[in-house]
Amino acid sequence: MLHIHPALERLLGPRLDRGGVLDLIAAAPTPEALRELAQDGITAAMRPRSPRLARTLPAQILAALDAQTVVVPGTTAFGRVITGIAAQLREVRAERDNLAADLEARLEAHPLAEVLTSMPGLGFRTALKILTIVGDGAAFRTAGHLAAYAGLAPVTRRSGSSIKGETRSQRGNHALKSALFLSAFASLADPTSRAYYDRKRAQGKRHNAALVCLVRRRVDVIYAMLRDRKPYQVPGTNEPNSTAAAA
């Protein structure tokens, strides 16, 4: 979109996912239009949806314009095209945000959302991500199948006949794996999870390998919770967990 003024392409191109940047491009699609807005006008155009960027980016934009010595042919005529594209991108982003909000509302009402968030380390957003990917878990015959789908089998690093240790596999559903690791890391504040992790470290495992073990253990629990539709039970008791660490 911004190839007609290269100095701005380097500055604004990586930020086209920001609402304030799209608003600015839609209002001022050419270098001349940006200069006419001046710093106060650029700030005003960006502030409603990108208040932080509005404090720093306007000065950088004007500096980039001052450094631009080459006038690209067709810049003014192509401004209308840029305005239209920016407007379309804003509409797509708005529709995406609406769909995301609707999905989140539907998942929030899902009975299994409350079941998952009863587990230490599993916050609401992480639970929603897991539900979005695996649903009620019925597609997986065992916890092992769910773990395999997430790519949780540890990979042993070898050098000749020497074993260097275990690392995270790069296979599996990366979004699910990230959610599971995020929740496991957050659960280290829970005494039970921490004790299990510490035992693995005491056995000589490095941090990553010990965390893999914790994640794999938690997958067994998550699978049982989804299968039985029951909240997390504190190990060694029949009492449901009363608190959950946010993830």
User: Which has the minimum average pLDDT: 59-73, 114-128, 162-176?
Assistant: 162-176
Identify whether residues 41 and 125 lie together within a single domain: no
User: Does residue 51 belong to any structural domain of this protein?
Assistant: yes
Residue 225 pLDDT exceeds 50 = yes
Calculate mean pLDDT across residues 129-154: 90
Identify whether residues 117 and 221 lie together within a single domain: yes
- Going by C-beta distance under 8 Å and a sequence separation of 6 or more, which residues neighbour residue 148? 172
pLDDT: which is higher, 146 or 110: 146
Identify whether residues 116 and 10 lie together within a single domain: no
Identify whether residues 116 and 199 lie together within a single domain: yes
User: Does residue 198 belong to any structural domain of this protein?
Assistant: yes
pLDDT: which is higher, 32 or 247: 32
Look up the domain containing 18 and give its range.
Answer: 6-102
User: Which has the minimum average pLDDT: 66-75, 158-167, 204-213?
Assistant: 158-167
When divided into structural domains, the chain yields a total of 2
Identify whether residues 224 and 116 lie together within a single domain: yes
Calculate mean pLDDT across residues 138-163: 76
Give the rounded distance of the alpha carbon of 171 from its chain centre: 18
Query: pTM to 2 decimals?
Result: 0.57
Query: How many Cβ atoms from other residues are within 10 Å of residue 191's Cβ?
Result: 10
User: Does residue 244 belong to any structural domain of this protein?
Assistant: no
User: Which has the minimum average pLDDT: 17-21, 162-166, 235-239?
Assistant: 162-166
Calculate mean pLDDT across residues 5-22: 76
How do residues 86-96 score in pLDDT, each as one tens digit? 777 778 888 88
Identify whether residues 127 and 199 lie together within a single domain: yes
How do residues 65-83 score in pLDDT, each as one tens digit? 887 665 555 555 566 667 7
Q: Is 52 exposed, middle or buried (0-12, 13-18, 19+ CB in 10 A)?
A: exposed
The 3-class secondary structure across the chain, one letter per residue, is CCCCCHHHHHHHHHHCCCHHHHHHHHHCCCHHHHHHHHHHHHHHHHCCCCHHHHHHHHHHHHHHHHHCCCCCCCHHHHHHHHHHHHHHHHHHHHHHHHHHHHHHHHHHCCHHHHHHCCCCCCCHHHHHHHHHHHCCCCCCCCHHHHHHHCCCCCEEEEECCEEEEEECCCCCCHHHHHHHHHHHHHHHHCHHHHHHHHHHHHCCCCHHHHHHHHHHHHHHHHHHHHHHCCCCECCCCCCECCCCCCC
Identify whether residues 80 and 148 lie together within a single domain: no
